Amino acid sequence: MNNESVMDRVGCGERMSMGWCDRKAAAERCPSFGANWFLALLTLVLFGPVGTLAGGMTKNVESVRPRIGQRGTTVEVHLQGIAISDPREIIFFKPGIRAYDLKMSKEPPKKRNLMHRGRIEEEVHCKFEIAPDCPLGEHPFRLLTGTELTCIGTFHVTPFPIVDEGEKNNGYANDSPEQATPIAANVTVCGQIGNGRRPDLDLYRIEGKAGERLTAVVESARIADTHYGDSEFDLSAAIRDDKGKLLASNDDNSLHLQDPVLSVKLPKDGPYFIEIKRSIYLPRETVYCAHIGHYARPLAVFPPGGQTGSETAITLLGDPLGPYERTIRMPDAEGTFYYFGDDPAPSDDKHAATAPTPLELRSSPFPNVLESANVVTRVAALPAALNGIIDRPDDVDGYRIKVKKGAPLHVRVFSASLGATIDAAIRLRRVDAEGRPGSVELELDDSLLTDHDIFGAKFRGGGGLQEVIDPSVIWKPKSDGEYLLEVLDSSRTGGALGVYRVEIQSPRTIVQTALISRTFDWTESTRVTGLAVPRGNRWTIDIDLPKGQWNAVKGPFQLIAHGLPEGVRLISPPVPPGTDRWPVQLVADPSADRRGALITLEARPIDSAQKIETRNQQNVPFINHSGGNAWRTVRTDKYIMGVTDPAPFQIDIEQPEVNLVQGGQLSIPVKLTRHGDFDGAVEFRCGNLPRLISVPPPTVISPGETEGVIQLEANSNAPLTKLPFYVIGSTIRTDIDDFLGSGHIRATSEIVELTVGRPYVELAAEPESIRRGERKKFIWKVKHHTPFEGEASVRLLGLPKGVNVVGTPPTITKDSKSIAFELEATDIALLGQASGLTCEVELPVAGQQIVQRTGKGSLRIDPRASGVAKVEAAETVKN
Fold of 649-757: Immunoglobulin-like (2.60.40)
Fold of 761-877: Immunoglobulin-like (2.60.40)
Identify the pLDDT of residue 865: 86
Is the separation of the CB atoms in 192 and 173 below 8 Å? no
Ranges in the chain annotated CATH 2.60.120.380:
3-48+161-293, 368-506
Identify the pLDDT of residue 521: 59
Fold of 61-158: Immunoglobulin-like (2.60.40)
Query: Does the reported pTM lie above 0.85?
Result: yes
Identify the pLDDT of residue 222: 94
Contacts for 626 with CB less than 8 Å, ≥ 6 apart: 40, 49, 50, 51, 230
How many C-beta neighbours within 10 Å does residue 835 have? Answer: 12
Q: What CA–CA distances, in Å, run from 163 to 175, 209, 262, 564?
A: 17, 22, 19, 40
DSSP secondary-structure letter at 4? H
Q: What CA–CA distances, in Å, run from 60 to 83, 84, 328, 641?
A: 6, 6, 41, 16
The mean pLDDT values, 10 residues at a time, for the chain of 879 residues are 34 29 33 34 34 55 96 97 95 98 92 76 96 97 97 96 83 88 96 87 96 96 89 94 96 93 97 95 90 95 98 96 94 96 63 85 97 91 98 96 97 97 97 92 92 72 78 97 97 95 97 82 81 98 93 94 97 95 97 97 94 94 75 93 98 94 93 96 92 93 95 93 96 76 91 95 95 95 92 95 93 95 95 94 89 94 77 51
Identify the pLDDT of residue 741: 74
CATH H-level superfamily of 511-644: Immunoglobulins (2.60.40.10)
Residues 230-281: tens digit of each pLDDT: 888 999 999 999 999 999 999 999 999 999 999 999 999 999 999 999 998 8
Is the separation of the CB atoms in 737 and 779 below 8 Å? no
DSSP secondary-structure letter at 521? G
Identify the pLDDT of residue 823: 96
How many C-beta neighbours within 10 Å does residue 100 have? Answer: 11
CA atoms within 13 A on the CB side of 654: 9
Residue-by-residue DSSP string for 577-599: TT-SEEEEEEEE-TT----EEEE
Fold of 3-48+161-293: Jelly Rolls (2.60.120)
Is the separation of the CB atoms in 148 and 532 below 8 Å? yes
> Of 355, 399, 357, 145, which is closest to residue 257 (Cα–Cα)?
357
CATH number belonging to the domain at 368-506, selected among 3.40.50.150, 1.20.1090.10, 2.60.120.380, 3.40.50.2300: 2.60.120.380
Q: What CA–CA distances, in Å, run from 158 to 69, 138, 348, 353?
A: 6, 9, 22, 12
Ranges in the chain annotated CATH 2.60.40.10:
61-158, 511-644, 649-757, 761-877
